[in-house]
Chains A and B, each alone.
Chain A
Amino acid sequence: MSKVITRLLLGTAIAAATVSAAAAQDKNVKIGVLTDLSGIYADLAGPGSTLAAQMAVEDSGLKAKGWTIDVISGDHQHKPDIGANLARQWFDREKMDMITDVPNSGVALAVNNVVKEKNGVYINSGGGTSDLTNAQCTPNTIHWTYDTYNLAYGTGTALTKAGGDSWFFLTADYAFGAALERDTTNALKAAGGKVTGSVKHPLNSSDFSSFLLQAQSSGAKVIGLANAGGDTSTTIKQAAEFGISKSQKLAALLLFLTDVKSMGLDLAQGLSFTETFYWDMNDDTRAFSKRFSERSKGAAPPTMVQAGVYSGTLHYLKALEALGGNPHDGAKIVAKMKDMPTDDKLFGKGSIQPNGRKIHPAYLFEVKKPSESKTPWDYYKLVATIPADQAFTPLDKSTCSLLKK
């Protein structure tokens, strides 16, 4: 009898050991870059984000250690339902482990819910809304590169303190625009400014003259552009046409390297704005950007969003390696990512707050004059550095439910 029991126990032990060994050896990772492959943000994220994720996989060195890591990409077409459905399909059919990028806050918030439901990992780089680490925070989400609070604080505070104390907003009519206007309003009120009015415009507009005329007649000192990508560059171009740039100051609250390229320095010169990454910051960023641009379309260096995809994916893989594999429990991996300090060549040393907010310094830049630009893509002048502990929402002001314990 005792022999039978011994055998049974032995058998159970062997079975348990095999199962746990199999779990420990699961080194197959699937990463989905959910982005805009064909619309107005395709240059600032899009194929470049996929490339950034692939480079992170290569640089992690995990493939040489026998890991299988696949990167696939999908187009959300700026529609929250399409983005959420694609994410759901990826988890259900493709056994996806991590989703990254997601420019467009509306889609970003929709995907946020799906990832939580499926217990995956979500590293947002392209979406701006600060709700991702406040009311909508989840144990599965990390907001990596920038957010509307960070843009608002950087540019809003700086311009208000420099004398631009009355603002009129031109706001893109979706989640991102609303969040950016709200956060900038708070920042500039705290700095002693006031808002005289705002107008909402549809995403991807081709004509801003009506909205610009309203901004002009408001008499506000600063016109805050709470929009992004092609909308921002078209607004700036048409503002110059209506002579607005002479009497009022334009604040591009979110401006990307590719937007400056598409406007040309003639028009963009003098604009001040906040970013957390620029390719020409130091030797490390230059070296990475050189490798990146050799493989990117039009030899473009990485934008802030693409750099964030790289950095976030790299940290994710580091956490996975530390856990020894088994990438299917998203909350556990995100917890590990929050425990480990972040350190990479693009954003330097940083950390991740309990609400999922990645913390690093932010920079106030100004666009160079055409005469100051020496090489292609040499566009930005550093005006000020905002230290990491000031650049993002202070934890005591975050409304994230993960913090209430």
Chain B
Amino acid sequence: MSINLQALSAQLLVGLINGSFYALLSLGLAVIFGMLNIINFAHGALYMMGAFVAYFLLNLAGIGYWPALFLAPIIVGVFGMILERTMLQWIANLDHLYGLLLTFGLALIIQGVFQNYFGSSGLPYAIPDALKGGVNLGFMFLPIYRGWVVIFSLVICIATWFLIERTRLGAYLRAATENPTLVRAFGINVPLMITLTYGLGVGLAAMAGVLSAPINQVRPLMGADLIIVVFAVVVIGGMGSIMGSIITGFTLGIIEGLTKYFYPEASNTVVFVLMVLVLLVKPSGLTGRTT
């Protein structure tokens, strides 16, 4: 087949945009797994809650997109911290499987409740006025909002990476996961730090939800549709690796975009084919530490 360069570059850009969602979501998952050792299956449901909170803020309180971008992650983050305190902390020292099952159950309950009240077809959420319209790049028409998504996600990803890998607080966190007893001996409140970390991971998911609300419908199943792909991203990147999940998120978005150009029918499965290949060659993931 002849390759149309224009169309190809357009697909690359679209892939990069989707990659930003994968990166933001897998980043939250990696933070939670790296620090709490919990495979957070409720991540998709919390992402969906982020979008819904933005919708409620707008329609019940008249609070628009910009405040919601920060308010919704805080609200959903607090909800996450309550979950951590009331449920997750009791199973933190058990096998991964228990955390996975508990959070999977939570996801089903949260989605079920939203679906019961709001149906399945979704609610409208408009693009903020300042980001409406688009620019003609020559090879494609780029909606300004999508460009914003890429830039904003990149900034948030780098900030999170910096917080965990390059600050004193991050150093405490990493130390607390290696040896909680020792860190506690220095007078640091480890359980509080764990709770805040879970809140941070959940907040990242909710922020992705707000970002996605104007592009997709605000739908109860929006997280369920995405979460499996995001898990594949995390597995490929290496469970718990912050930088790995960011890079893999963007890369897989691009690979998916290319598949949509060359063979659209396989676009839903290409990520899993890659996951199988990576696991066969390097079971700890591309950037994962072998433990």
Contact = CB atoms under 8 A, between A and B. Distances in A.
Interface in A221-267: 229-230, 233-234, 237-238, 241-243, 258-259, 261-264, 266-267
Contacts of A264: 124, 126
Nearest to B259: A210
A209 interface: yes
B241 interface: no
Contacts of B15: 210
A173 B260 CA distance: 13
Interface string B105-140: 000000000010001111110110000011000001
Contacts of B6: 217
Interface in B205-261: 215-217, 219, 221-222, 225-226, 257, 260-261
Contact of A266 (B126, B264, B268): B126
A127 to B, nearest CB: 18
B227 to A, nearest CB: 11
A42 B115 contact: yes
A237 B10 contact: no
B121 A234 contact: no
Contacts of B10: 213, 217
A89 to B, nearest CB: 24
A267 B121 contact: no
B143 A241 contact: yes
Contact of A42 (B120, B123, B126, B268): B120
Interface residues of B, number: 40
A216 B141 contact: yes
Nearest to A233: B217
A228 to B, nearest CB: 11
Interface stretch (A9-17, A115-123, A131-139, A198-206): A198-206
The residue among B11, B133, B221 with the most chain A CB atoms within 10 A of its own CB is B221
17 contacts: A40-B221, A42-B120, A42-B121, A44-B121, A209-B14, A211-B260, A213-B11, A214-B261, A217-B7, A230-B217, A230-B219, A233-B121, A241-B215, A258-B121, A262-B121, A262-B123, A264-B126
Interface of B: 4, 6-7, 10-11, 14-15, 17-18, 115, 119-124, 126-127, 133-134, 140-141, 143, 145-146, 215-217, 219, 221-222, 225-226, 257, 260-261, 264-265, 267-268
Interface of A: 38-44, 46, 173, 199-202, 204-207, 209-211, 213-214, 216-217, 229-230, 233-234, 237-238, 241-243, 258-259, 261-264, 266-267, 297-298
